[in-house]
Chain A
């Protein structure tokens, strides 16, 4: 089975800190995604990457950046954390962009910015 591993389950940071959320997948997937999930708002796409060193903005990229130096790793970066970035962050991957490809999710990182 595909495994998508997020480095932390819970994270507490201070306002203004630089925050790195790491995600690693073990199945040679081309595509990787970062979503955030807030009560009442569902999952919203922050950034995605269709291949190494490629990145595309999702629906809510403001305040975030990403890095994909290796195929298996996709990092989400909060340059200067703010309280409105307190949320559950979910990483996902899939083999490729074909519409019948399944998406595999990590367990999520609950980030609190104080």
Chain B
């Protein structure tokens, strides 16, 4: 049970912003929200994580709803190299459970 819900796939044009949604309506107060992505033929890599406040790093931004039941990963300008499967995960004190993620396609 991944405990998060994401769209199966999304498409974006190159150079455009991308908003990847995630629903985690049963999240507990101490669970963090993590995002990972998996490029073709590679293992997943960490993107960003947060608890309550919005977070920014060099890869992306994470916007967390006030009630914490959903979050959005924001890629500010999609490039072809951002084409990957993006996983949204609830992180508590147990091993991370990965769902099927969202496959992002970027069109030149």
Contact = CB atoms under 8 A, between A and B. Distances in A.
Interface stretch (A12-20, A75-83, A102-110): A102-110
Interface in B22-47: 30-32, 34, 36, 41-46
Contact of B34 (A33, A102, A108): A102
A107 B95 CA distance: 19
Contacts of B98: 35, 42-44
Contact of B95 (A4, A40, A45, A108): A45
Contacts, number: 55
B97 interface: yes
Interface in A27-63: 31, 33, 35, 40-45, 48, 58
B44 A100 contact: no
Contacts of A97: 93
A24 interface: no
B43 A100 contact: no
B101 A108 contact: no
30 contacts: A31-B95, A35-B98, A41-B100, A42-B99, A42-B100, A43-B44, A43-B98, A45-B97, A48-B95, A58-B95, A90-B43, A90-B44, A92-B43, A97-B93, A99-B30, A99-B31, A99-B91, A99-B92, A99-B93, A100-B49, A100-B91, A101-B91, A102-B46, A102-B49, A103-B34, A106-B43, A107-B43, A108-B41, A108-B42, A108-B43
Interface of B: 2, 30-32, 34, 36, 41-46, 49, 51, 87, 91-93, 95-101
Given A31-B95, A45-B95, A98-B93, 17 more contacts: A33-B95, A33-B96, A42-B98, A43-B87, A43-B98, A90-B44, A92-B43, A100-B49, A100-B91, A101-B91, A102-B34, A103-B34, A103-B36, A105-B45, A107-B42, A108-B41, A108-B43
Interface of A: 4, 31, 33, 35, 40-45, 48, 58, 90, 92, 97-108
